[in-house]
Amino acid sequence: MLKLRFLMSLFLVLHCSVFALAEEEEFSAAQIKFFEKEIQPILVKRCIECHGEEKQENDLRLDSRAAILNGSVSGDVVDPDDVDGSLLIRAIRFQDEDYEMPPEGQMPDKEIAAIAKWIEMGLPWTKSEEPEEVPLTFDQLVEKHQAEHWAYQPVSNPAAPHVKQQKKAANPIDHFTLNRLEEKQLTLSEPADRRTLIRRATYDLHGVPPTFAETEAFINDKDPQAYDKLIDRLLASHRYGQQWGRHWLDIARYADTVGYLTGGRDTRFPYSYTYRDYVIKALNDDLPYTEFVKEQLAADYFVKEDDPKLAALGFLTVGRKFLKPDETIDDRIDVVMRGFQAMTIGCARCHNHKYDAISQADYYSLYGVFTSIEQHTPLIGNPEETPGYDEYKKQLDKFEAEVVAYDQKIYDAVIVENRTYFTDYLMRAVSKKTDVELAELEFAEMKALNIRRRVVQLWRAYLVRHAKPDNLVFSPWKLAIAIPENEFAEKYPPLLELLKIKQDEPGFIPLNPLVRQRMLEMNPKSYPEFAHVFGSLFKEITAKWVEHGANDAAKEKLTEPEQQIMTMLLLPDSPLMVKFDQIASLSRRDERNNRQPAQNKVTKHKASSPGAPAHAMAVKDLARPREPVIFLRGNAARRGDKVPRQFLQVVSTVEAPKPFQNGSGRLELAEHIISDDNPLTARVLVNRAWMHHFDNPLVLTPSDFGVRSDPPTHPELLDHLATYVRENNWSQKKLHKYIMLSNTYQQSSVDRPDARAVDPENRLIWKMNRRRLSFEEMRDSVLAANGALDDALGGVAVKILEKPYPTRRTVYGFIDRQDLPNLYRVFDFPNPDATSPQRSKTTVPQQALYMLNNEFVIEQAKALATRILEQGGKRPEMIREFYQTILQRNPTATELKLAMTFIQTAVEQREPETKIGAVHQLAHALMQSNEFMFVD
Amino acid sequence: MDNHAQENNAMPIMDRRQLLQRCGTGLGMMGLAGLLGDQGMLASSAQADSYSNPLAPKQPHFPAKAKYVIHLFMNGGPSHLDTFDRKPFLEKFAGKTLPEGKNLRTERKTGAAFPSPFKFKKYGESGIEVSELFAKTAEHIDDIAVIRSMQAQVPNHEPSLALMNCGESVAVRPSMGSWITYGLGTENQNLPGFVAMCPGGYPVRQTQNWQSAFLPGIYQGTHIDTNHTDIGKLIENVKNTTIGKKDQKRQLDLLQQLNAAHREQRGHDPALDARIQSFELAYRMQTEATEAFDVSKEPKNILEAYGKGTQARQILIARRLVERGVRYVQVWHGQGQPWDSHDDIEKQHRKLAGQCDGAIAALIADLKRLGLFEETLILWGGEFGRTPTVELPQAGANQGRINGRDHNHHGFTVWMAGGGVKGGQVYGATDETGFKAVEKPMPVHDLHATMMKLLGFDHKRLTYRYAGRDYRLTDVHGSVVDELIA
């Protein structure tokens, strides 16, 4: 026998166990038998596939009585007191177009009748032997999570735990790590040597290695504060902002193009760089993180209109331009909520989050914020100060003039067309026949190809507004087009008769005499002919007006009936009066395509000219913010309840969220995020900082602190750090230093088999994690080895993969999200289409191929080798020099010997096709080594 | 103070062979899956070992015949009505407006019924009708399952390409090739696991068609512009133009000796081992990849069977790649949207089909000869079909010749062959006009679900945890059509 049971999904921890619903009734054996025999098989056969355990279309489940009573997104689906009105019944009877169920076809009448009867009985159901599990209501879920989920608990300030090996602890961080290690009879590794330490610290904070001289100086620095001083020096350098700015740009899904555009349009963001530079500057200035959040969400609320800080708003706008605007809003909600709060709320777009206490109402509350803004690109700073601005402006004016000239040509043509081809447009405004069919009529003047859709629309709108019975030019219009097009010939003549009624007779229709006369003369038999009556007359009168000079005086020269018509045609909303700024919508597709090259010149100039002044990719609130409604199943056509713009219920721990008052509410949103009561913001921040310092976060999913995420390995440490950053004015630099001064950070990365046996993944941090260089660090290090790295701050993005290869720091490289170079992908650069919590770490041969064969790498190795050759030392000296510049150390005797032998053999056995010298080959090999590519 | 130089002196320098022995020989020992955080959720046997090569071959959920996929992508939208879905109705209604309600809304306005200018004929034992455009492919019709009831969601290229490739028309999602490579790995570590060939540049929507989205970047398709015949231009960094082979080998030996000493000081670290191994693979790849793309080594009769031209060459390359263990090969007809015949459909479709029909037939025959046909799932089709009605002139949209067809997502045809597909059958049907799929409508998600099944996957179980949710190719949709499976 088929057995229907509400099986609780393994993952659904959100349900609690209660006895069946209050509405539970006692049913007779006969009723239950009826259910089992007649109803259950129907449900199983026709409904459960989409409304059961696996799928819950419209959030409706039909596999338990409780679930049915729970209803769907549309509310209750059954009402025993109103069987015919029950949504379920209406759906299976196909009474609502939106809900015809089952979708594959109506079920037999007999089954429909059985279900109706069953509902009337009050839904008898086999009594479950086990207590039924019913889902919590949303409010119960919020309460439960607020009470139980670690991430929603207030940030605590735990005392540093007592540890046995006090001596091993340099600061409280070590107490927290040692405490966990000692539980497993483990301890921290020995401190790393100074050479390793300076290289680690420099890579962590700068993304490039120290020089050999810096390394030696640090090793030999006798000052007990040497390491302290090192950290300060590193944090004071602008390279810090470039390295940590790049980490934030991963979160911000930063790219320099909008993504895909049709019609060959230039896809560059001309001003994305201003956001990138803002981020780097904010980090270098050690802007408190709370301010950093606030500026990126709402700088426009509190800075002047040309303040460079407006560039912060690029956080919202540098995302991909999606084919649908709703996707753009979704992207912005996602980047804000995952980026600042590690909350994944995208699921709630279509239904309440399956696991987290995030409702559709929460989603649309935020949707309301981001649908109430518009983008603009205000000038920031003083453009005259940009070197080369004058030249830039001159060129820009020239390019823009080309676009205007092109548009002027189209505009002039449109004006002439609209003053001439009245019939062509009027008949299209009324007739359902196709452009081609109409173009074949003998009085048609335009080719179907040349019809402007927008002008047809303008005529339609114009006629709706003006062709009313009391209008003296159009009085018969409405009556005529009330006749169905295919019955026009038959039904129009009686109407024509009405026009023959004289002024003093009853039933007279007032009408412009010229229109009346022409109507009677032409005796139209169809919609197009009817339109032609007007069209031909309008054309003649307009021609006269044009002949007289097409102005007010010209109108005066017309006869009175002509003037009456001309006045109508010159109303502000008449298609004859289209404005130049409407040109984009008036253009035909071919004209738009032809405009593109000129338009692209403008975009390209703005995006790549060195003299282009900075603009912010800013947003501003709409004058009247939009009031959001829930879209059922995420479908904008199916509108549910209104919701206020406000913050998420589950994070508003103190009280119920209040609707935002100020504009779109962005500033209030920011204030919720940076509020002392927000349990997430500081934890998310310190977890990410930890991740970059240790190559592994404390919470494994740095952008998902939801209930399905793993709890932190060191919850107390996480809270300790969160408290630290809050108490230190949200300074990230202080946080770095605090972490880096711990012995946990300073320990060696060398393997310890005993510890590995206990904790193979090093979750307890018994050693430092060795990490591979990121794509940016790899490329920058290759350049740094050659002494060629250009790390100047700021500016327009540079195409670093095009020859001649620029030496610009990689963070300033051009990022085309539509065509992200393979190289970026191969080295795990994250997909810039969505916020990236963490980069993947893969090792594939394509990476090795790049190091082995890529021209850029070889070029840098060659340049370095050539420079060192030119210094003219002996071979051992040269080899030492290579080791110093590439690996920041001297070679060992064994290595020296190995290199000598290599050079010797390579010189002796050199193949004819080899174009680079033995010494160059050696430099190239060192750049490919694991020592070069990993940070211990 | 510690000094590396001194430590190093104590360390023996191993040669490359010793090193590789220490690093372990199998691929299983190398590489970091790196699926940290947003991590892979491969089921049971395909469970990703976090220290295994992310491209190492993996077992699917259950045994399956198909191991490789060749997707012949007729981008732009080939007309089903002129190829695999004959409609005599259009001949009767030629030049007339379709009955009320039959002319459906597509991207542009269309007019009267437009019968196919091509001749159809029944082929094979199954007697399936195919037009003269694919007369050679039709010789294999008994191995082909023609699906005539495909449906997309909108009549526009970009969303339909996204749907066909990534199972989602708007949001950014991984492509099917990325999913399959993620699920199955690839059998030849010297070649990319997922190759997207497109002569002349990119199709519409560019690299998004083979994107890995939130899956790790290594699962992204590698684009190859098959207009190039110079191998060095086909694969990035595969050739070193500055150093001879032996000299490079010597350089690599030195590198690996340095790496060995470095590793020795640091103890166990799979990431170091993985990178050491990756250089060995890269070195071999230089030869192997070059060889795989070089069709000139094929025997004369094979070259003749595939025919001349870029299509023939890239379809032959597809076979060579599959033969070498590449998991997923897409063959795009060309840059832009070549099959988008809004005008001159007779001329255009004849030319396009002429370029690939012979090679497709040769591919099927060739795979059979090599015993690879049953292991290779071939999918032929575009992102949608075309209207049974003629497209009307619209400025800038076409040339106004009134002899082409508009896009049609309501109903269209794709076909599958090999890889455990039950050939010699027609599945589903469009209405009498050919406008809309009415019999057994097949959404793209169902096609994907069925292809996944053929490859051994339960499409609901091949998932990836991202942004707090388990994603899959078919999202919350997709039903397997068992009738298509032998």
- pLDDT tens track for A626-658: 999 999 888 888 898 999 999 998 887 556 778
pLDDT tens figures, A249-303: 999 999 999 988 877 788 899 999 999 999 999 999 999 999 999 999 999 999 9
Residue A651 lies in a domain: no
> pLDDT tens digit string along B308-325?
999 999 999 999 999 999
CA atoms within 13 A on the CB side of A146: 18
Dihedral of CA atoms A411, A414, A418, A421 in degrees, nearest 10, equals 160
Structure token digits, residue B402? 């009134």
CA–CA distances in Å: residue A803 to residues A255, A800, A848, B202, B445? 21, 8, 21, 22, 43
Question: Looking at the predicted structure, is the pLDDT value of residue A702 above 90?
Answer: yes
Confirm or reject contact between A431 and chain B (CB < 8 A). Answer: no
Cβ-nearest to A750 among B33, B252, B266:
B266
Residue of A nearest to B282 (CA): A845
| Cα–Cα distance for residue pair B417/B374, rounded to 1 Å | 9
Q: Is residue A936 pLDDT above 50, yes or no?
A: yes
Long-range pairs of A867-874 with CB within 8 A, sequence gap ≥ 24 = A867/A786, A867/A787, A868/A919, A868/A923, A869/A917, A869/A919
Q: b/e map of B325-339 (b: 16 or more CB within 10 Å)?
A: bbbbbbbbbbbbbbb
In eight-state DSSP terms, residue A744 is H
d(CA B25, CA B164): 40
**DSSP calls for A295-348:** HHHHHHHHS-TT-GGGGGGHHHHSS---SSHHHHHHHHHHHHHHHHH----GGG
**CA separation for the pair B128, B138 (Å, rounded):** 9
Dist CA A793 CA A411 (whole Å): 45
Return all residues near B35 (Cβ < 8 A) that are at least 6 apart.
A840, B48, B50, B54, B216
Is the Cβ of A856 closer than 8 Å to some Cβ of chain B? no
Average pLDDT, integer, range A809-824: 92
Which pLDDT tens digit goes with each residue over A743-773?
A: 999 999 999 999 999 998 899 999 999 999 9
Contact residues on chain B for A848, CB-CB shorter than 8 A: 275, 278-279, 281-283
Q: Which residues of B touch A827 (CB under 8 A)?
A: 217
Q: Residues of A with CB below 8 A from B392's CB? A: 434-436, 448
Domain residues for A921?
771-935
B32, B198, B207: which to substitute to probe chain A, counting the most A Cβ within 10 Å?
A: B207
Q: Diameter of chain A by CA atoms?
A: 123
Q: Does A53 touch chain B (CB under 8 A)?
A: no
Smallest CA–CA distance, residue A370 to chain B, in Å, is: 18
Q: How far apart are CA A792 and CA B395, in angstroms?
A: 50
DSSP B411-424: SEEEEEESTTB--S
CA distance B14 to B257: 6
Is residue A866 pLDDT above 70, yes or no? yes
Contact A512, A404 (CB under 8 A): no
- The enclosing H or E element of B48 equals none
A96: in domain: yes
CATH architecture of B55-235+297-484: 3-Layer(aba) Sandwich (3.40)
Question: End-to-end alpha-carbon separation of chain A, Å?
Answer: 64
Smallest CA–CA distance, residue A6 to chain B, in Å, is: 20
Q: Is residue A637 part of a domain?
A: no
What was the pLDDT predicted at B251?
Answer: 96
Residue of B nearest to A703 (CA): B467
Say if B177 is an interface residue toward chain A (CB within 8 Å).
no
DSSP state of A193: P
Residue where a domain stops, chosen among A531, A562, A589: A589
pLDDT at residue A802 in the model: 93
Cα–Cα distance measured from residue A308 to residue A380, given in angstroms and rounded to the nearest whole number: 5
Counting beta carbons within 10 angstroms of the beta carbon of residue A781, is it exposed (0 to 12), middle (13 to 18) or buried (19 or more)?
buried
Neighbours of A469 (CB within 10 A): 12
**C-alpha distance from residue A857 to each of A277, A780, B222 (Å):** 27, 11, 21
Beta bridge partners of B385: B408
Cβ contact A904:A169 at 8 Å: no
Burial of residue B425, with CB atoms counted within 10 A of its CB: 0-12 exposed, 13-18 middle, 19 or more buried:
middle
The answer to whether the CB atoms of A823 and B265 lie below 8 A apart is no
- Top-confidence range, A82-86, A390-394, B20-24: A390-394
Cα–Cα distance measured from residue A535 to residue A514, given in angstroms and rounded to the nearest whole number: 12
DSSP-H helix ranges across A354-505:
360-370, 389-418, 422-430, 435-439, 453-466, 477-482, 488-499
Q: In angstroms, rounded to a whole number, what is the distance separating the alpha carbons of residues A349 and A334? A: 11
CA A468 – CA A406 distance, rounded (Å): 38
Name the residue with higher pLDDT: A452 or B33: A452
The enclosing H or E element of B376 equals strand B376-381
Give the end of a domain, one of A522, A555, A589.
Answer: A589
pLDDT tens string, chain B, 486 residues long: the values are 334 433 333 344 555 555 555 443 333 323 223 222 233 333 322 333 334 577 889 999 999 999 999 999 999 999 999 999 999 999 999 989 888 888 899 988 898 999 999 999 999 999 999 999 999 999 999 999 999 999 999 999 999 999 999 999 888 899 999 999 999 999 988 888 999 999 988 898 888 899 888 888 788 888 888 988 877 777 788 889 899 999 999 999 999 999 999 999 998 888 898 899 889 888 988 888 888 999 998 999 999 999 999 999 999 999 999 999 999 999 999 999 999 999 999 999 999 999 999 999 999 999 999 999 999 999 999 999 999 999 998 877 788 889 999 999 999 999 999 999 999 999 999 999 999 999 999 999 999 999 999 999 999 999 998 877 889 999 989 999 999 999
* Pairwise CA distance, residues A574 & A441, whole Å: 25
pLDDT band for position A201 (cuts 50, 70, 90): very high
Which residue among B242, B266, B396 places its CB closest to the CB of A916?
B242
- Residue B98: how many other CB atoms lie within 10 Å: 21
A53 burial type by CB count under 10 A (0-12 exposed, 13-18 middle, 19+ buried): middle
Q: Do B252 and A852 make contact, defined as CB atoms within 8 angstroms? A: yes
- Given this model, what pLDDT does residue A98 score? 67
Q: Which among A589, A605, A631 is the end of a domain? A: A589
- List the single range of A381-390, A541-550, A820-829, B301-310 with lowest mean pLDDT: A381-390
Confidence (pLDDT) at B15: 56
Q: What is the mean pLDDT of residues A911-932?
A: 95
Return the domain boundaries, chain B.
1-30+239-292, 55-235+297-484
A742-751, A827-836, A892-901 — which is least confidently predicted?
A: A827-836
Q: Is the dihedral of CA A381, A383, A385, A389 positive or negative?
A: positive
Q: Distance, in angstroms, between A130 CA and closest chain B CA?
A: 29
Report the greatest alpha carbon distance in chain B. 94
> Which contiguous run of DSSP H or E holds residue A765?
none
Over pLDDT 70: what percentage of chain A?
96
Both tokens of A351, joined, read 């239904």
Average pLDDT over residues A897-901: 96
Residues A531 and A429: beta-carbon distance below 8 Å: yes
| A822 → chain B, closest CA residue | B222
User: What's the CA gap between B215 and B212, in Å, rounded?
Assistant: 5
Q: What per-residue confidence (pLDDT) applies to B16?
A: 53
Which residue of chain A has the CA closest to B396?
Answer: A590
The alpha carbons of chain A give a radius of gyration, in whole angstroms, of 37
CA distances for A820 relative to A264, A764, A802, B220, angstroms: 18, 37, 14, 11
Asked if B13 and A355 come within 8 Å (Cβ–Cβ), the reply is no
Count the neighbouring beta carbons within 10 Å of the beta carbon of residue A248.
Answer: 21
Predicted pLDDT at A128: 67
CA distance B119 to B77: 20
Backbone dihedral angles phi then psi of residue B475, each to the nearest 5 degrees: 50, -120
How many domains is chain A built from? 3
Separation between Cα atoms, residue B192 and residue B55, nearest integer Å: 9
- Residues counted in chain A: 936
> What's the pLDDT at A809?
98
Place of tokens 């040509």: A409
Give the model confidence (pLDDT) of A611-622 as tens digits: 888 999 999 999
Contacts of A694 (CB under 8 A, 6+ apart): A745, A765, A768, A769
Residue B37 at interface with chain A, using a CB cutoff of 8 Å: yes
DSSP notation for A540-600: HHHHHHHHTTSSHHHHHTS-HHHHHHHHHHTSTTSGGG--GGGHHHHS-HHHHHHHHHHHH
Q: Tens of pLDDT along A321-330?
A: 887 889 999 9
> Which one of A697, A841, A929 has the shortest CB-CB distance to B258?
A929
Bridge partners (DSSP) of residue A813 are A798
> What is the Cα A647 distance to its own chain's centre?
19
Q: How, if at all, do strands B68-73 and B376-381 pair? A: parallel
The torsion of the CA quartet B239, B243, B248, B252, rounded to 10 degrees, works out to: -80
Confidence check: pLDDT of A575 > 90? yes
Res. A831: pLDDT tops 60:
yes
CA nearest to B446, candidates B466, B475, B470: B475
Closest CA to A4 of A80, A61, A57: A61
Question: Residue B155, preceding bond cis, omega within 30 degrees?
Answer: no
Neighboring chain A residues of B207 at a CB cutoff of 8 Å = 818-820
| Under 8 Å between Cβ of A522 and A533 | yes
